[in-house]
Amino acid sequence: MALRFVAPLLRSALSGVRWGGTAAPTNGGSPLPRGGPHCLPPFPPLISASFTSSCAPTPKVFDREIVNEMGALGLLGPTIQGYGCAGTTSVGYGLVTRELERVDSSYRSVLSVQSSLVMHPILAFGTPAQRERFLPALARGEMLGCFGLTEPNHGSDPGSMETRARYDRATKSYRLRGTKTWITNAPVAELCVVWAVCEEDQQIRGFLLERGMAGLSTPKIEGKFSLRASATGMIVMDDVEVPEENVLPSARGLGGPFSCLTHARYGIAWGALGAAEACLETARQYTLDRKQFGVPLARNQLVQKKLADMVTEIALGLHACLRLGRLKDEGRWGPR
């Protein structure tokens, strides 16, 4: 079943108040208990099946059409109000990433980058004109974005960023030079959110680079062992001219990119639990099917303990994500 066939159903679910956790709860096969306020809100099983049928068959190749179908479903930037986005809750977004990563971490990565690392900074730090220009196309999946922060020499140390932006007063534009690496979506993205140090004030600023700009290239990184359906590459900038209207005016310093990473990690946490649940289901079924000495492996107490430990850890993680999502929706999720 193609994702497009269930678009009306998911849009309805995404926009419903029951995704905030107020509906009659059901565990939907999760390790969380049935009943009570601590259960996960329901996720439409038809949508889960659509993820499996659409994303699972292509585990080694990035399929651009799936991004378009995500947009048709309302999955891209789903917590944003307006601009053609679904406007769901943070809990609803978490459930989407959980279900998607059950099938393939690659497409959850695509979803997280588009929603939290591209659409979020444009919404949070961009101008009204930038939001109107980019967000609707990003929400529909017609435009795919990437997030350029990591550099070859400073993977976990963005404070040592080498990418530089020099302001040209004659053309009222910035000239960007530098390289970003291990960038999800870079080889196929039409829009790059790039962070660079401005030479005039040594402040880190955000820039919106569009494919086709002179001096911009995005070579693909080949030979990955995992996440092969996610296109990963570099952003190489050789004196790329970026007009003033493509600068994110409200982002200065590391607070801008760090806030994007915080939003992305929220969805990643849900997604990791979806992957863990898929591993649990696979392991459980194997121990039921595999027989040794005439009995299934699941009959052994040591195997049972290991499965029980998996269920326990997943349940704890889901409780934490659910609580965090509700705090996020209430505006109380910041670090203390």
Instruction: Please report how the helices 301-329 and 90-103 are oriented relative to each other, as an axis angle in degrees rounded to 10.
Output: 140
Spans of all domains in the chain? 1-143+259-336, 145-253
- 145-253 homologous superfamily: Butyryl-CoA Dehydrogenase, subunit A, domain 2 (2.40.110.10)
User: If you average pLDDT over residues 165-180, what whole number do you get?
Assistant: 95
As a whole-number percent, the residues of the chain with pLDDT over 70 amount to: 82
User: If you average pLDDT over residues 290-308, what whole number do you get?
Assistant: 96
Alpha carbon distance, N-terminus to C-terminus of the chain: 45
pTM of the predicted model, to two decimals?
Answer: 0.85
Q: Is residue 164 over pLDDT 90? A: yes
**Nearest Cα to Cα of residue 247 among 188, 144, 183, 166:** 166
Q: Is-contact 141 288, C-beta < 8 A?
A: no
pLDDT at 225 (0 to 100): 87
Q: What is the pLDDT of residues 72-113, one digit of tens each?
A: 888 999 999 999 999 999 999 999 999 999 988 999 999 999
Q: SS3 of 330, please?
A: coil
pLDDT at 3 (0 to 100): 46
CATH architecture, domain defined by 1-143+259-336: Orthogonal Bundle (1.10)
Q: What is the pLDDT of residues 264-290, one digit of tens each?
A: 999 999 999 999 999 999 999 999 999
- Separation of CA 54 from chain center: 18
pLDDT at 157 (0 to 100): 86
User: If you average pLDDT over residues 172-199, what whole number do you get?
Assistant: 96
| DSSP label at residue 298 | G
